[in-house]
Structure 1
Amino acid sequence: TAVLYDFYTEWCKVYSHVIRSLKDIEPDLLVFYNYPKQIRASIYSTNMIESFNNVIKRKAKPKAEFPTEQSLDAFIGIQAMSYNDRYFNRIHKGFGQVQDTLESYFD
Structure 2
Amino acid sequence: MELANFYLKDKTLIHKLFKVLVPRYMNYTTSFTSMYLLSNRDIDWSNYRQRSYVNQRVLIELKGNPYPPLLNHDLKRNNLLHNILLSQVSRDYYMNRTNVDSEISKEQD
Which of structures 1 and 2 has the bigger CA Rg? 2
TM-score computed with the length of structure 2 as normaliser? 0.24
TM-score, normalised to structure 1, is 0.24
Greater share of helix: 1
Greater relative CO (CA pairs within 8 A, separation 6+): 1
